Amino acid sequence: MKENGDVTPNRFLVKFSGEYLAGEGGAGFSAARLTAVSRELKRAQRSANGVAVVVGGGNFFRGGRNLPTSIGRVTGDQIGMLATAMNALALRDAFREAGMDAESACAFPIGGILDQYHPDSARAWLDQGVVVILAGGTGNPFFTTDTTACLRALELGAHTVVKATRVNGVFSDDPEQRPDAVRYDHISYDFALSNQLQVMDATAFTLCRANDLSVRVIDLGVDGNLERAIKGESVGTLVDVLGGDHD
């Protein structure tokens, strides 16, 4: 991807989880979280040459394998895609309220509500300084929003995927369960995969590795972290092809 000139310098794709938008309640929207996300994104946008956002839907519905027996996997994933559309609409209005130009699009059209995503249109918005929020996953079941984030980043010429989470980077174990877990500053995709580090799913990682796309994992709850990540400062964990010292 970087060899053919398609990457736009200092362009980023930010991946938010739906759960983060719910706040402490665990479901629906938290007004405080929407305000906080908008504030962080606005600060970060000033240092970027275009910011796109992929959002999950876990604050409304989680698909995957933990479904009631009456709901099939494909249907469950389709419900999850619709949940991401609700979050994209909420983020669009929250970003506009914060003074940003923002547009949302979906992998599939939702008549009268969301237009269908197309890379050319999204690139044009980004070139104009518009924040683009992307919903609907890939439009297909069996793919996570992590994979969606990496795919859209490649389509839009993003320099890096910033995965905004509840923890400040990638750790040797779950830091919420193991306080002695070690945080890595810089690792390779091969290291993450071979050590089964829970950063992104294997499909997303494989896509990034094959196309030399970097991922930076940060704690969105730390004030200014997103801006620092987009400025290229060493925050959270950087995951790329080369990696760093893991000793």
Question: CA-to-CA distance for 155 and 50, rounded, in angstroms?
Answer: 13
Residue 16 in any domain: the answer is yes
Question: CA-to-CA distance for 120 and 93, rounded, in angstroms?
Answer: 23
- Write the pLDDT tens digit of every residue in 122-157: 999 999 999 999 999 999 999 999 999 999 999 999
Residue 247 in any domain: the answer is no
Span of 3-7, 61-65, 152-156, 193-197 with lowest mean pLDDT: 3-7
Residue 86 in any domain: the answer is yes
Residue 245 in any domain: the answer is no
Residue 221 in any domain: the answer is yes
Instruction: Give the per-residue pLDDT at 63.
Output: 62
Instruction: Give the per-residue pLDDT at 208.
Output: 92
Could you list the residue range(s) of the whole structural domain that residue 167 is in? 2-240
Q: How many domains does the chain have?
A: 1
Tell me how far apart the terminal alpha carbons of the chain are, to the nearest angstrom. Answer: 30
CATH code, domain with 162? 3.40.1160.10
Residue 209 in any domain: the answer is yes
Please, which pLDDT band fits residue 224 given cuts at 50, 70 and 90? very high
Does the pTM of the predicted model rise above 0.85? Answer: yes
- On the question of pLDDT at 235 being above 80, the answer is yes
Residue 189 in any domain: the answer is yes
Residue 175 in any domain: the answer is yes
Which own/partner contact pairs does 60-67 have at CB distance under 8 Å and 24+ positions apart? 60/18, 60/27, 60/28, 60/86, 60/87, 63/141
Which of 8-12, 30-34, 96-100, 141-145 reaches the highest mean pLDDT?
96-100
